[in-house]
Amino acid sequence: MSTNELSRVALAMVAPGKGILAADESTGTIEKRFKSISVENLEENRRAYRDMLFSTRGLSQHISGVILYDETLRQKSADGTPFAELLAKNGILPGIKVDAGAKDMAFCPGEKITEGLDGLAKRCAEYVKLGAKFAKWRAVITIGKDAPSAACINANAHALARYAAICQAAGLVPIVEPEVLMDGDHDIDRCEQVTEWTLRAVFAALANQRVVYEDMVLKPSMVISGKDCAKQAGVQEVAERTLRCLKRTVPAAVPGIAFLSGGQSDELATAHLDAMNKIGGAPWRLTFSYGRALQHPSLTAWKGRETNLAAAQIALAHRARMNGLATAGRYSAELEKERGKAA
Ligand code: 13P
């Protein structure tokens, strides 16, 4: 793809009213999700679950793209249509997670470095053939007593930038995802400080690797209080601080920012995005790329049973619609309650 095509895809990923469904859980991560509904982690169950999600009627109204895992990109819908083809037919861009996971980082206790650069160009070429239009790489930054370290931030920023350059050269739009974890009892000040440090390092590395800002999407975490912090910041404060931090660090040439949910509850993740868009005035589109916060109600409704398919799809369509509204700052508690009516 030429840079024009890449920038067209990047803009489509963050199109008004739409966001991204992250359904790229590795086999190990989906096992955790399946355990919560007592479903065995078998290839056929993983396929059936993703089939349920992807064949939700009208999904493309609020979902611009879906991030897949390697196995899923090679799987097919019940009628034999490859998932990538099914999504594309329905006007949804298929994407692929290309990192090999966050591993313990040497000499940095408690910190992680994401692996997967070796052989990445070759894998990207195959993913393009399989129909992928964009890619994702997640870096993890941990907040702790002596963390994050400069070593961890810089190594992860460098890896993200190398990944992004390789993807763009191969014809895939990179989703650059530096996630500052919400685990811990740190306050929102500390989260803001670490997020700002991380984003500065990431954009310095992206510039250094000649990554084209117009042809990428940023997927950051929001600036929020640590999960175990006694004082939890409210929705407005999270929105204001997240916007302030992003304005300080993210070039306006980046077309869009699609947040991860990172363990926030479904409705809070929607409310935070909505509050940012209600404030308005940002130079980039602000949308979602949620995994848990989009899938959770659907997963719990599904429980691995064919008979629950319709209820599970209604639950997904509802969350997608609520988040779609949040991209325009048009979400409200009243609309949230309309789930029954949507059925
Ligand atoms: P969550 O929204 O569940 O954090 O998942 C998004 C994602 O893709 C993490 O890499």
Q: Which residues line ligand 1 (CB under 6 A)?
A: 22, 138, 177, 260-262, 290-293
178 CA → ligand 1 middle, Å:
11
Quick one: tokens of 72?
A: 């899923």
In the prediction, which pLDDT does 92 show? 98
In the prediction, which pLDDT does 2 show? 66
Domains present along the chain, CATH in parentheses: 3-338 (3.20.20.70)
CA quadruple 57, 61, 65, 69: dihedral positive or negative? negative
Catalytic residues: 177, 219
Selection from 151, 165, 163 nearest residue 115 by Cα = 163
In the prediction, which pLDDT does 156 show? 99
Instruction: Tell me the whole-structure pTM to 2 decimals.
Output: 0.97
Residue 138 Cα: closest atom of ligand 1: 10
294 CA → ligand 1 middle, Å:
10
263 CA → ligand 1 middle, Å:
8
Identify whether the C-beta of residue 116 lies closer than 8 Å to the C-beta of residue 101.
yes
In the prediction, which pLDDT does 341 show? 54
The answer, yes or no, to whether the previous bond of 148 is cis (omega within 30 of 0) is yes
Residue numbers in the chain where pLDDT is lower than 50 = 342-343
Selection from 134, 139, 199, 137 nearest residue 168 by Cα = 134
Total residues belonging to the chain: 343
In the prediction, which pLDDT does 340 show? 53
Residue 295 Cα: closest atom of ligand 1: 3
In the prediction, which pLDDT does 343 show? 42
